[in-house]
Amino acid sequence: MKKMKAIGALSIGLAFLLAPGSAIRADAASDKLTVVVTDEPKSLDPCDTDLSGNSRILHNNITEALVDLSPADGSVVPSLATGWRQVDELTWEFKLRDDVTFHDGKAFDANAVVAALKRAQDPALACEVGLATLKGVKFNAEAVNPTTLLIKTDIVEPILPNKMSAVDIGSPATPNDGKSRSPAGTGPYKLAAWTPGQSVDLVAYDGYWGDKPAIKNATIIWRAESAVRAAMVATGEAQIAYEIAPQDGTTEQDHAFPNAETSLLRIDAEIPPLNDKRVREALNLSIDRDGLVGTIFHQDAQKAMQAVPPSVVGFNPDIPVWTYDPEKAKSLLTAAKADGVPVDKEIVIYGRIGIYPNSSESLEAIQAMLADAGFNARLEMLETSPWLKKLLKPWSKERQPSILQTQIDNTEGDAVFTLPNRFTTDGNQSTIADAKLDTLIADASKATGDERKKLFEEAFSYIAVDAVNIVPLFHMVTIARVAENVTYTPDVQAGNEIKLKSISYR
């Protein structure tokens, strides 16, 4: 099959790296570590950690938040805050660590958190955390004293501590008139250099308040091809490589793990012919998900029907997975065409190079499936920057009908971290405007306990059955390759966080 030939072509990069005369180094020195990822970060601003490419370098390496979430069960655990309590319905109190300093020498205290939270919500800065995690709520922080902080909200925010895990605190000297490329945080590593197009270099921070990292110097580099990333560990050019494709991850150094990501295609439901529900249903019926598992996607990937995995509060277990039925897809398109829907209009499939292993090959296969069902689909693979312009608003009103390859992570364990920004009318990534869905998500976000779970389940059911504005694919499994002399166990958060402090040499 053509798609399998494309997968095999990935081995070319491996053969090149292992060819005689290739410049390699046997092993890193014990005080140096090189990690290879898929692509360069968009930003290293502390307020942009809602994008995975930024977060994996920043979060808990350069910058830290008031709290963390346990990878074991998603529970809230201390970080820069040692304790917290709910004072009243709209107010939370946090107790902060003392004797913590930022990399630039500024003191970490309650005033620094006030400044960081205000900056994260500044619409002029368009911080990713403000547009996503903090969306829909006003968070007003007040310093009671250097180690006591009050955070007040304008509406009930029952999981406020969870949301604070996404707000990384930068130095109070961080500029407020634009994004920073030189972040100063409180983390175990400080930024040594960001060489655009090449690497990010970090060095251990001697004044770190917590346990010191075992490795002093860390370099993050990026390569688009899975085979190349895998080969860099095999040759000693890197010690850890993420997002290894199934066909490349066949050694004892390759560790597969669920990564809390859900892959899907986002349908632009506002542009004809995709504004017709029958066309959107036909897209879903056209895709042979069973045929993609174990070939292009990892054999342990689970077919998805919603944008979060089962571990997330609000996951609805009663939504049936789409079946593969190209004949029904054709009949839906025929019926829509008879009603004047322009089903023959070209639909662009926008993909992102390296978003996950075999990302291009997956869309080549899906494009062929859509063509078999009668769609006129064209594939366009994009680098990260132009892809982000398709992901995030504003968009042109004259745009082509399109579907966008993306994946959504949720390591926080609650549907509120997934739904508002992606499925409400004013969401920064949302291609749907539906007042009923807006109300469902808003009501669920304010609720607690069983009521919260029930309302989020209703929202996911509405998205899947009524709105049908996504083509859900898989709850993902990923592979990391780790050098034999390195101690590191990737966990469910590894897609968003390279836990450099936890890595050591044997």
Q: What is the pLDDT of residues 270-290, one digit of tens each?
A: 999 999 999 999 999 999 999
Same structural domain, 250 and 266: no
**Structural contact between residues 139 and 153, judged by C-beta atoms closer than 8 angstroms:** yes
pTM, two decimal places = 0.84
Total domains in the fold of the chain: 3
Provide long-range contacts, Cβ within 8 A and 24+ apart, for 420-423.
Answer: 420/132, 420/135, 420/136, 420/445, 421/131, 421/132, 421/135, 422/266, 422/307, 423/459, 423/463, 423/467, 423/469
Are 308 and 409 members of one domain?
Answer: yes
Residue range 186-210: mean pLDDT, rounded: 97
List, in sequence order, every residue forming a beta bridge with 472; answer none if it has no partner. Answer: 264
314 — phi, psi (to 5°)? Answer: 110, -15
Domain membership flag for residue 172 = no
Could you give the count of Cα atoms lying within 13 Å of 234 in the half-sphere of its Cβ? 21
* Same-domain status, 312 and 383: yes
What number is the average pLDDT over the span 236-248? 96
Assign residue 333 the CATH number of its domain. 3.10.105.10
Q: Is the predicted pLDDT of residue 296 greater than 90, yes or no?
A: yes
| Angle of CA points 412, 444, 304, to nearest 5° | 55
What pLDDT sits at residue 87? 97
Residue 442, φ and ψ in degrees, nearest 5? -65, -45
Q: What pLDDT does 260 receive? A: 87
**Residue 425: its pLDDT value, please?**
96
Evaluate if residue 14 carries a pLDDT over 80: no
Q: How many helices (H) and strands (E) does the chain have?
A: 15, 19
Q: What confidence tier does 27 reach under pLDDT thresholds 50, 70, 90? A: very low
Q: State both tokens at 298.
A: 């990892």
Share of the chain above pLDDT 90, in %: 88
In a domain, 28, yes or no: yes
Measured distance CA(182)–CA(47) in Å, rounded: 13
Q: pLDDT (tens digit, 9 = 90+) per residue, 97-128?
A: 999 999 999 999 999 999 999 999 999 999 99
Q: Tell me, what's the pLDDT at 412?
A: 85
Residue 31's nearest CA partner among 237, 218, 234 is 218
| Rounded Cα–Cα distance for residues 68 and 200 (Å) | 24
Q: CA dihedral in degrees (463, 466, 467, 468; nearest 10)?
A: 80
Question: Could you list the residue range(s) of the whole structural domain that residue 439 is in?
Answer: 259-476
- Answer yes or no: is 484 within a domain: yes
For the segment 193-198, the average pLDDT, to the nearest whole number, is 96
pLDDT in tens, 349-408: 999 998 999 999 999 999 999 999 999 999 999 999 999 999 999 999 999 999 999 999
* Confidence (pLDDT) at 6: 37
Amino acid in position 4 = M
Going by C-alpha positions, the residue among 447, 267, 463, 474 that lies closest to residue 356 is 474
Same domain, 458 and 381: yes
φ, ψ of residue 457 to 5 degrees: the values are: -60, -40
Is the model's pLDDT at 28 over the cut of 80? no
User: What is the mean predicted confidence (pLDDT) over 476-504?
Assistant: 94
Phi-psi region of 192 (alpha: psi -120 to 50; beta: other; left: phi over 0): alpha
pLDDT: which is higher, 167 or 496? 167
pLDDT digits (tens, 9 = 90+) for 393-429: 999 999 999 999 999 999 888 999 999 999 999 999 9
Residue 486's nearest CA partner among 255, 213, 240, 203 is: 240
Instruction: Inform me whether the pLDDT recorded for 3 exceeds 60.
Output: no
Q: Is 239 part of any domain?
A: yes
DSSP 75-136: -EEESSEEEEEEEETTEEEEEE-SS-B-TTSPBPSHHHHHHHHHHHT-TTTT-HHHHTTTTT
264 and 143 inside one domain = no
Structural domain includes residue 375: yes
If asked whether residues 294 and 353 sit together in one domain, one would say yes
Q: Of residues 150 and 20, which shows the higher confidence score?
A: 150
Task: Specify whether 160 is located in the same domain as 65.
Answer: yes
Examine residue 55 and state whether it is found in any structural domain, yes or no. Answer: no
CATH at 20? 3.40.190.10
- Per the domain annotation, does 98 fall within a domain? yes
pLDDT at 413: 86
Cα distance between residue 491 and residue 478, in whole Å: 10
pLDDT value of residue 311? 87
Closest CA to 416 of 162, 167, 168: 162
Q: Tell me, yes or no, whether 53 lies in a domain.
A: no
Residues 462 and 497 occupy one common structural domain: no
The β-bridge relationship of strands 148-153 and 67-69 is unpaired
Q: Which of 320, 329, 325, 307 is nearest to 377 (CA)?
A: 329
Helix %, strand %, coil % for the chain, to 5? 30, 25, 45
